[in-house]
Structure formats: structure tokens, C-alpha cells
Amino acid sequence: MTTAGIDAGAKRIKVVIVRDGAVLARKSAESGLDAGAVSGRLLDAALSEAGVGRDGLAQVAVTGAGASAVGAATAKVSVVRALSLAASRLDPAVRTVIDVGAEESRAVRLDDKGNAEDFALNDKCAAGAGSFIEAMSRALEVPVEEMGKLALAAETAVAMNAQCVVFAESEVVSLIHRRTPPGQIARAAYESMAARVMTLLKRLGVTREVMAVGGMARDEGFMDALSRKLGVKVLAPEYPEYACAFGAALAARGK
């Protein structure tokens, strides 16, 4: 059976084509102003790469904040279910999944069969999501792709007290004027973000093994900060940003 999963996120749309649990194609693009049109183009591009026509799809399942805009979908799947299905397929030993995207973060606790037992969402504050690091990179005038390396090169982090993105940017500017090393500021930004994610995990309760997915799971600075906060190495799959789309495609098999 061939299915498609679409993750209509706040910033990017991801599409995955799956046949019998194996990924045939992945595509991603910014959501833009017309998420429906973007998702349709991505679906067609992914199907072309997979060598499958739309009539060869059993189901198209959508998940994410922009799910209602995706007209190509035949089923809707909750993000929590998509995450639990993806994590249990990617690594059956995982019991806690952390999903950190551009605008929000969430955590899901799984039972020994891979089913979601409980979940927690952030408070819609960007300080616990990827846009926080983007804001900090702008303030430091460092490409966001270099923030992780910059933070890892620093042995210590300067104190960062602001919890709001707007105030944090102002604090970074003040630290720069005081000639604080950029690496220490970058490391502080990641530790602040990891601390916000930890508030989710404290409410949920952490059960090992722990996996991070979403775009931030590719960021070595964030993964290092989160692993140090937790006291355990946080795992990440090969394509962490596609986890929700993959889970949606897996869920579509039962629709």
C-alpha cells in the first residue's frame, strides 16, 4: 500500500511518500501565503520522484497547524499520533519524543507499544522554538546555520535573563556592546531554549530513550544544550524534520 503524509507546519510544509513502511520520496518548502497550493505542488513533486501517480495513492493524510488548508488530503491525523507512530517506527526503544519546530514545541510520552500515553505543549512562546534561535542569530549577525558551531566552541555561557524573544534580542545587543564573546551569547541562547523545552518535560515526565524531531533536531547547538539539561544523550533520526509527515503517512494506512 502506498500512502502520503503531509505536515503543514507554521513555516514549512513537508511531504513524504511511503510504501509498506518504507519512504519513497521526501519534499519540503516554505508554506508561503497559499499552503494549499504549496502542498499540492510538493505532493506532485514527491509522487514524480517516487514514480507514483495520484491514482496510485491509497490515502493522503495531513497533520499540523495548517492542515485545514490542504485540499489534497483524504484524512486528518493529530500531531501527537503522527509523532508517536513515527518515533516507534524509527526506534522502538524510544519512550519520549520532543518535537521542536519553528513556532512551537511539544513532547509526547510513549508506552512500551509505541502508543501515546500523555503529551504537553509549549505556551506558544517563541523562546521555546526555532524562531528564537533565528532571532538571536540576527542580533549576533551570524548565519543561523553557524549558531550551533559557535555555541559549541564556547566553554561557558553568559547569563541570559530574558524569557521573551523581544527582550532577549535587546539583551543580546547589550551583551554585544559589553564585548561579550559571541560564542558565549550563542551558548546562552541555546541553554535558554533548552530550559523552556525542559518545562514541558517536567510536566510530562521523561522516560528514556529520548528522541528529538523537527527542524531543531538538526541543530547541534540545541541538541548539545538539551542533552546536557536532561543528563542523557538525546537521539535524532536521519531526517528529523520529516517525522510528522512520515507518521501521518503511516497513520494513513489504517484509514
CATH of the domain at 195: 3.30.420.40
pLDDT at site 165:
64
- 200 and 125 co-located in one domain: yes
pLDDT band with cut points at 50, 70 and 90 for residue 163: low
pLDDT at site 219:
95
- 174 and 135 co-located in one domain: yes
What value does the mean pLDDT take over residues 163-175?
A: 74
pLDDT band with cut points at 50, 70 and 90 for residue 30: very high
Q: For residue 206, what is its C-alpha cell?
A: 521523561
**What is the residue-averaged pLDDT of the chain?**
91
Whole-number Å distance between alpha carbons of 157 and 210: 25
- The residue that leads in pLDDT, 26 or 255, is 26
- 169 and 102 co-located in one domain: yes
- 213 and 185 co-located in one domain: yes
Residues 132/126, Cβ–Cβ less than 8 Å: yes
- The residue that leads in pLDDT, 249 or 133, is 249
- 107 and 12 co-located in one domain: no
- 31 and 148 co-located in one domain: no
Residues 81/116, Cβ–Cβ less than 8 Å: yes
Q: What is the pLDDT of residues 61-113, one digit of tens each?
A: 999 989 999 988 999 999 999 999 999 999 999 999 999 987 788 999 999 99
Domain count for the chain, please give it: 2
Residues 186/147, Cβ–Cβ less than 8 Å: yes
pLDDT at site 254:
78
- 8 and 112 co-located in one domain: no
Q: Are strands 105-110 and 116-121 parallel, antiparallel or unpaired?
A: antiparallel
pLDDT at site 51:
97
Nearest residue to 217 (alpha-carbon basis) of 177, 252, 244, 199: 244
Q: Is the pLDDT of residue 255 over 60?
A: no
